[in-house]
Amino acid sequence: MTFEISKEQLEKLNKWIKDGKRTESRATMGERLEYAFMPCSLGMHIVVRDCLRKEEINLSDYENW
């Protein structure tokens, strides 16, 4: 199974990651970020969690549902 995000979602995610790099950590991004793709009848709900900062960003594209 393959999950994809749009160019706009990727740009939003990269900005969020860049802003969060101010937190000092030895964890790599692969250890730090958790991706959740949750399909529903209207569209794909996408959330990325930063396990170190205990924050998350919602990348769901509600306008195109």
Mind listing the pLDDT tens digit for each residue in 14-35? 999 888 766 666 666 567 889 9
Q: How far is CA 24 from the centre of its chain?
A: 19
Residue 2 falls within a domain, yes or no? no
SS3 annotation, 23-42? CCCCCCHHHHEEEEEEECCC
Residue 16 falls within a domain, yes or no? yes
Q: Domain count of the chain? A: 1
Read off the pTM: 0.79
User: Which residues constitute the domain of residue 56?
Assistant: 7-64
Residue 1 falls within a domain, yes or no? no
**Banded pLDDT at 48 (limits 50, 70, 90):** very high
Which amino acid, residue 32?
Answer: R
